[in-house]
């Protein structure tokens, strides 16, 4: 079982690359955003809990998110592994994910970070904002704040896995296919 976290700031291309890698390596792609929407749309107990918090403008507690991830993993007993996209975002979430997987006799094999300069991130998200319909994708100050939140709250997750010799970095600049080529090479090394 191969489990990988695809990591990087907002707009780094995680979602695009995760789909391509999941297909290439026969892994199940888990996007926490998609997971939340699915659980809420299907009115599951966890979806209802998440919706209650979100409607109050509060963050969804880690245990609710981990519960959703656990359900997704349990729903795919045939999987060769999973690509986690958008999770974990904090060291506490990384520890909870590790604990959940350990209970199944699994682990995170690698965290792979897409390295993209801040100015490129801003440009990509502003470009995405022209078609995404997300107001936060059209405001440069909000985008820059999201980058700072990533650096202060999420970047430590990289260090958490780096301390375990499981973190890797790939240059996230170039065409989608060029970046995929770099990721593909690294995947073959770390999952061998």
| Residues assigned a catalytic role | 14, 89, 128, 134, 146
CA distance linking residue 181 with residue 13, whole number of Å: 14
Tokens 């209650």 appear where?
52
Helix, strand, coil percent content, the chain, rounded in steps of 5: 60, 15, 25
- Write down how long the chain is: 192
Please give the C-alpha separations between residue 65 and each of 71, 114, 146, in angstroms, as whole numbers: 10, 23, 20
| Closest by CA position to 111, among listed 35, 68, 163 | 163
Q: How far apart are CA 95 and CA 90, in angstroms?
A: 9
Element (H, E) at 162: helix 155-162
First-to-last CA distance in the chain? 11
Cβ count within 10 A of residue 116: 19
Query: What are the structure tokens assigned to 16, written together?
Result: 């695009």
């Amino acid at each position: 079982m191969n489990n990988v976290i695809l990591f990087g700031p907002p707009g780094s291309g995680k979602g695009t690359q995760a789909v391509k890698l999941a297909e290439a390596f026969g892994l199940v792609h888990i996007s926490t955003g998609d997971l939340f929407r699915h659980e809420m749309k299907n009115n599951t107990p966890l979806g209802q809990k998440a919706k209650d918090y979100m409607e109050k403008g509060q963050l969804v507690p880690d245990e609710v998110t981990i519960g959703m991830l656990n359900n997704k993993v349990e729903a795919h007993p045939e999987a060769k592994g999973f690509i986690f996209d958008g999770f974990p975002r904090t060291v506490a979430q990384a520890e909870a994910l590790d604990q959940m997987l350990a209970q199944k006799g699994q682990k995170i094999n690698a965290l792979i970070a897409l390295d993209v300069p801040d100015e490129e991130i801003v440009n990509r998200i502003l470009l995405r904002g022209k078609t995404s319909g997300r107001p936060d994708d059209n405001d440069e100050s909000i985008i820059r704040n999201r980058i700072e939140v990533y650096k202060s709250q999420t970047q430590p997750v990289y260090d958490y896995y780096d301390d375990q010799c499981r973190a890797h970095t790939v240059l996230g600049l170039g065409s989608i296919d060029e970046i995929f080529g770099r990721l593909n090479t690294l995947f073959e090394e770390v999952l061998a």
